[in-house]
Structure 1
Amino acid sequence: MPTYHYRCKNCGYDFTEEQSFDDDPITICPKCNEEQVRKVFSAVPIEFKGHGFYRTDGASGSSDSGK
């Protein structure tokens, strides 16, 4: 199950919660009980592995030397 990061705009409480894709987002803060909770989105790291991601990994048999 995915883990989501939430933050309350009222009291600043940060928390994470495992939820199914079918679950509704959390809107009420478990600390102050206000309806001020929002999901926190962050950049997802991407890691390229294998061949084909660099200029030097071009098609095999190519003798292009940067022309």
Structure 2
Amino acid sequence: MPTYAYACTSCGHRFDAVQKFSDASLTVCPECGGDLRKQYGSIGVTFNGSGFYRTDSRSGSGAKSDASTSSKSGSSTSTTPASAPAPAST
């Protein structure tokens, strides 16, 4: 459940209240009976990293061709038999 900050417009009393999303906002100050206002502050979200690019969510042909090229080149070098040296003639 979220915590909401309230401040009284009459006496300046400030407090936090834990309420459900479906609960109505508080309107009466518990100290003096004056009007309350909900206080809004900054949220604790930080975005780190380099960001997103247009190509991040696509599986374009560039990614497929790069993967197939690297797998072909890796498999051709590993399956090529080593050539034996030719016998020397005397």
TM-score between the two structures when normalised by the length of structure 1: 0.69
The residue number in structure 2 matching 1:65 is: none
The 2-side partners of 1:25 and 1:18 are apart by 11
| Residues in 2 aligned to 1:24 and 1:8: alpha-carbon distance in whole angstroms | 17
Question: Which is richer in helix?
Answer: 2
In 2, distance between residues paired with 1:3 and 1:12?
A: 19
Whether 2:26 is the aligned partner of 1:26: answer yes
After the TM superposition, list the runs of 4 or more consecutive aligned residues in structure 1 that deviate by more than 4 angstroms.
Answer: none
Structure with greater strand percent: 1
Q: Which amino acid aligns with 1:43?
A: S
Does 1 or 2 have the higher relative contact order (CA < 8 Å, sep 6+)?
Answer: 1
Task: Give the Cα–Cα distance (whole angstroms) in 1 for the partners of residues 45 and 2 of structure 2.
Answer: 17
Q: Which runs of 5+ in 2 are unaligned?
A: 56-90
- Tell me which structure has the larger Cα radius of gyration: 2
CA RMSD of aligned residues (A): 2.4
TM-score, normalising length: structure 2:
0.53
Aligned residues: 56
Please report how far the alpha carbon of residue 43 of structure 1 lies from its aligned counterpart in structure 2 after TM superposition.
Answer: 1.5
- Equivalent in the alignment of 1:44: 43
Q: What runs of 5+ residues in structure 1 fail to find an aligned partner?
A: 60-67
- The Cα offsets for residues 12-54 of structure 1, whole Å up to 9 and x where unpaired, read as 00000000001000000000012x10000011132124x5438
1:46-65 equivalence runs, <5 A: 46-49=45-48, 51-53=49-51
Instruction: Provide the identity percentage.
Output: 36
